[in-house]
Amino acid sequence: MQASEVPRAVAAARSTASSLGLTVDDALVLHDSNKLTLRLLPCDVLARVAPVAQQVARFEIELAQLLAESGCPVAALEPRVEPRVHERDGFVVTLWTYHEPVTSREVPPADYAHALERLHAGMRKLDVPTPHFTDRVEQARQLVADRDRTPALADADRELLGDTLRSLGRVIGERGGAEQLLHGEPHPGNVLTTENGLLFIDLETCCRGPVEFDLAHTPEEVGEHYPDVDQDVLRECRILVPAMVTAWRWDRDDQLPDGRRLGTEWLGRIRAALDRR
């Protein structure tokens, strides 16, 4: 989120929670990306705030409710208020249960795989309209092809990313394997370690595709504990996903701290992976 918008976003979250009868004396910024994540105190509520024009909050809330009702390991909405999207001062605000992290240690791969398997099992039961994973791949490819949006990307790197996104997206999409609703980005940053076990957050990136696409966002050891994985598809996805993420790091509007350095580093990793392939 633009730095100039942060104070207004915080004020929108505080006033929304207060209007619903929650006591808010302070707001701690936990994460700042395309949306702002806050811990509101002393009511101890997690607030997620995004500009109205850049949000899919209603879809995320409805999906979170459906998954929670079926026992999936997802973060819950705040039970003290009505589960809906609140609009205030050009922002949308959603309120969630705050989970105190139990530990900062690395999640055991077997636990990670089991939690993701449970999430996928619940998602298979749902019939909700979502983009196909190849739609997200195409968005990344169009970003790479647009020199105005990615002006710092060298020609050789632009060609590498464009060809990788085009070819691997097509190859994986044409394999004809089983597809289902996916989280879309179940990387470690979207997994909470809580007293109730592992919980997945940030459902706005949900899409449809093979489970290997989700697994490609996780540490490599996780795939070794997930049952019935197509290892060939997973290997392809483990190149495709970093290519997508790398493309976003070269967006001129990308605000990830140290994003450009990461984009350069990941280009090297993609080249090495393609050489091994």
Give the tens place of pLDDT for each residue, 36-93: 999 999 999 999 999 987 668 889 999 999 999 989 999 999 999 999 999 999 999 9
The residue type found at 34 is N
Least Cα distance to 229 among 92, 66, 62, 109 occurs for 109
Across residues 158-184, what is the average pLDDT? Answer: 93
Give the tens place of pLDDT for each residue, 212-266: 999 999 999 999 999 999 999 999 999 999 999 999 999 998 878 788 999 999 9
Radius of gyration of the chain (CA): 19
The full DSSP string for 188-201 is GGGEEEETTEEEE-
Q: Are 249 and 26 in contact (CB under 8 A)?
A: no
pLDDT at 32: 85
pLDDT at 54: 61
* Whole-angstrom distance, CA of residue 80 vs CA of residue 75: 15
CA distances from 108 to 104, 193, 198, 221, 222 (A): 12, 11, 11, 9, 8
